[in-house]
């Protein structure tokens, strides 16, 4: 189970690094017919996505506070709930399937790293 979670974490990290990076660094062109949040809020979401992506990988990789990984995944679930809602409102239910499935995978990582296959703490050598 740990290997499957690592695979999902890695894929989610790539997706959120890309999505967050686009929101952070590229100019945002929003058509006026869509109801979207203000630009400052989208930049904040981009920062949260990049931070969440790093939180999926770095704590366990570096061995520093690996318990932060399920918290990062849970934070990404909250972001994806909002993304699913806005996408369904603006573009229809079929377009909202990608953020919905991405949120489900983030929820799987959060639950998996919290209950199914938590990271083990390294024992200090005497």
Residue 122's pLDDT is what? 57
pTM: 0.85
Q: How remote is the C-alpha of 21 from its chain's centroid?
A: 12
Q: Give yes or no for residue 70 having a pLDDT over 80.
A: yes
Contact 113, 8 (CB under 8 A): no
Phi, psi of 78 (to 5 degrees): -60, -45
């Amino acid at each position: 189970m740990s290997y499957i979670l690592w695979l999902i974490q890695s894929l989610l990290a790539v997706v959120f690094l890309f999505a967050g990076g686009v929101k952070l660094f590229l100019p945002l062109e929003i058509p006026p017919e869509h109801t979207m949040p203000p630009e400052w809020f989208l930049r904040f979401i981009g920062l949260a996505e990049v931070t969440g992506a790093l939180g999926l990988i770095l704590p366990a990789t570096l061995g520093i506070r690996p318990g932060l990984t399920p918290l990062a995944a849970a934070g990404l679930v909250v972001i994806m709930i909002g993304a699913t809602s806005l996408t369904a409102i603006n573009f229809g239910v079929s377009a909202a399937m990608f953020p919905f499935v991405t949120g489900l995978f983030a929820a799987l990582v959060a639950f998996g790293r919290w209950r199914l296959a938590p990271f083990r703490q390294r024992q200090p050598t005497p």
